[in-house]
Amino acid sequence: MTKIRREVRARFPRLTMSLVMTVIFGVIGHVVWQTREITPLKDITIPGIEGGLVTLIWIVALAFTAIFLIRALSDALVLIDILTDIFIKRLGITEEKSPKRAARDLIYIIVVILIATALSPIVGTIEGNMGAWLSTAIIYIGLGIIIILIYDMGRIFYGIIESRAESLADRLSKIAEQEEDG
């Protein structure tokens, strides 16, 4: 069995289970948070936690959701790398690292958008101006990272197009020289 096949066979079931667990804990967290006012657990308080037991359950569910989502993302990135290699080979592109890195940059852009979108409202609930400041900081940090990744993708694509254009120019000049000599 090849290395790629073993990697896919190991990672795909783990990715599937991580996604299923992410959805399960996400639903549990959502249900707990939405029913926090009507549940009988609302009266149980825990010193140091303002919302009591319901808030603690929600935080634990959110933590498990994050853990399984991070695990799913790490498996997904490896599988995306494998699919990118296959796709690049099918396109006939000989540069291995540049298009692969551009595809990774695109995946990282999507991940940054998802993380900033998820964290911004959660951090915004912190009391006082600190929540608003942190939420704004998360958005601007995410925007800066996205701009850097887009720049890197543009630089990669420019290099690929430039090398293709130079090779096409070389071929055309050889054809023109052959026409003059022949």
pLDDT greater than 80 at residue 87: no
- pLDDT tens-digit map of 5-17: 898 899 999 999 9
Identify the sign of the CA torsion 116, 117, 123, 129. positive
Q: How far apart are CA 109 and CA 147, in angstroms?
A: 9
pLDDT digits (tens, 9 = 90+) for 42-82: 667 777 666 677 778 888 898 999 999 999 988 988 887 78
- pLDDT value at 3 more than 80: yes
pLDDT at 35: 82
Domains in the chain: boundaries: 1-92, 95-182
The pLDDT, as a whole number, for residue 4 is 83
- Rounded to 5°, angle at Cα 157 from 153 and 160: 145
**pTM of the predicted model, to two decimals?**
0.52
Q: What is the reported pLDDT for 27?
A: 92
Mean pLDDT for all residues in the chain: 83
Nearest to 97 by CA among 163, 144, 4: 163
In the structure, what pLDDT confidence band is assigned to residue 25 with cuts at 50, 70 and 90? very high
Per-residue pLDDT of 96-124, as tens digits, reads 557 777 887 888 899 889 988 888 888 87
Q: Report helix, strand or coil for 102.
A: helix
